[in-house]
Amino acid sequence: MKIVCNACGYIGDAKEMTKGSRKKEMMLWCCLVLPGLLYTLWRQSSDGRYQGCARCRSTDFRPLKRKEWKQYERSGQLAF
């Protein structure tokens, strides 16, 4: 998905981010297996994933339409 970031002005591909942290996941796995498993499942579910700006990780962005992206590729700027 191509996006325009409202926070930093980034234009390009959105990045898929995972909520939570790997460290916490590991800790849960070491201490208690069941919550660790649930945490892993949650992070891997669509609930634990989100699209964000590849530069600043902000979720405050506008998705670009294919037509808009094509125009951006051609002219190097966006017509808002």
Q: How far is the CB of 1 from Zn ion (least distance, A)?
A: 14
Q: 55: which DSSP letter?
A: T
Radius of gyration of the chain (CA): 17
**Residue 51 vs 71, nearer CB to Zn ion:** 51
Query: d(Cα 3, Cα 54) in Å, to the nearest integer?
Result: 9
Q: Indicate whether 26 belongs to the interface with Zn ion (CB under 5 A).
A: no
Of residues 46-75, those binding Zn ion (CB under 5 A): 53, 55-56, 58
Largest CA distance in the chain: 55
Task: Please give the angle made by the CA atoms of 47, 52 and 54, to the nearest 5 degrees.
Answer: 140
Q: How far is the CB of 13 from Zn ion (least distance, A)?
A: 12
**Residue 8 vs 26, nearer CB to Zn ion:** 8
Binding site for Zn ion (CB under 5 A): 5, 7-8, 10, 53, 55-56, 58
